[in-house]
Amino acid sequence: MQKILTPELSVIVTAYNNEKYVQECLDSILAQTFTDYEIIVVDAGSKDKTAQICHSYSEKYTNITVVDFHPDGPAASRNEGMKYASGKYITFVDGDDVIDKEMYSTLIAQMEAENLDAVYCTCYRFFNDDINNRSVRNIAEISAYTKEEIRNNIILPIVSNLGAGVEVTGSMCMSVYRKSIIDANALKVRNMSEIYSEDNFFNIEYLSHSERAKALNIPFYYYRKTAGSISNIVHDYTVPALKNFEKEVCAIGEKLGIPVEETSRRCNVRFVVQFSAVVKKKIDSLSLADVKKWLKATTENNNLDFSFTKEDLSCVEFQVKLFWILLQYRLYTPLYLLVKIYSRFIAR
């Protein structure tokens, strides 16, 4: 295979201790019906055989480059990969996931035919190796051909959807971007410790500089959920980063002419959902006494206010609403028992 000097698409793969899955990931990219691409694998200092496997692929395929890097988190890996990207378009894949062979031919065709700045698809979700037992994440089909449509129909739903169903995914791995927009605005992926939802924030920031975008309800991406994933870990920075997300998104919204009240309301809904998920992770891993201690310290240290309005809570699922009411009234023991029972029921 000849080296592609100026490929149409740069696929940035971030890998860390993925020896069990990275070969399947790379094979799924190499199987694409779209052929004008390069693969840039950023290995984040893996302790297993991930780097060795990736280098063996780069020796066999001239369109694969491996970057050995020792970053602090996946955001830094993606930023490092973008330094090496030479394609007109950029996309991302996590080293333990796989993609449909038609993904890039379809998404690039949409970009070209409609002169889009971004195009999104959706995914299947599965646990560990059970790819046949998967669930689809449905999104709304959206065509946004003006800045106002992007603002109202994509950016705001990424912050939080106030209606029923999932409006659009904010994942960088289910998107294709124009490199020229990233370069012109010096866009970087922010670390989770700063912004918590790094994918969502990158999309919001990127779309704020875009003119035309589209979302397709086609599950081209296969997202593997594993117990050790960074998204399943609660850090000391998690809650401050959640609050910082609201501050920075409101600033972007203000520049786009979105009323602060609208952005804040959506951020409130987002916080309700995400903080509830954070508390659930703590309950899954700690004793009741330790959960109470953590909740008390987290509430005081971050000056948290649980008294959101009925309007805020009206947009979330019943179990999240009940979860939040128990938090609001400091009913930690019933909350703890509810989550334990719910988790056991789901596990069955």
For 250-319, the three-class secondary structure string (H helix, E strand, C coil) is HHHHHHCCCCHHHHHHHHHHHHHHHHHHHHHHHHHHCCHHHHHHHHHHHHHHCCCCCCCCHHHHCCCCHH
Q: pTM of the prediction? A: 0.91
Q: What is the pLDDT of residue 345?
A: 65
CB 134 within 8 A of CB 125: yes
SS3 167: coil
Measured at the CA of 223, the angle between CA 218 and CA 226, to 5 degrees, comes to 160
Burial of residue 249 (number of CB atoms within 10 Å: 0-12, 13-18, 19+): buried
As beta bridge partners, residue 178 has 89
Whole-number Å distance between alpha carbons of 163 and 346: 25
- List the one residue out of 287, 301, 267 whose CA is nearest residue 339: 287
The predicted pLDDT at position 237 comes to 85
**For residue 23, which phi and psi values (nearest 5 degrees)?**
-65, -45
Low pLDDT (below 50) residues in the chain: 1-2, 347-348
Q: What is the reported pLDDT for 235?
A: 73
Q: What is the CA radius of gyration of the chain?
A: 21
**Residue reference for tokens 């700063």:** 194
What domains, with CATH codes, occur in the chain? Answer: 9-230 (3.90.550.10), 259-347 (no CATH)
Task: Look at residue 268 in the predicted model and tell me its pLDDT.
Answer: 87
Q: 289-322 as b/e, with b when 16 or more CB fall inside 10 Å?
A: eebbebbeebeeeeeeeeebeeebbebbeeebbb
Question: In which residue are the tokens 């699922």 written?
Answer: 317
What dihedral do alpha carbons 309, 193, 254, 188 form, nearest 10°?
-150
User: Which pLDDT tens digit goes with each residue over 295-304?
Assistant: 999 989 888 8
**AA identity, residue 128:** N
DSSP 229: -
CB 41 within 8 A of CB 68: no
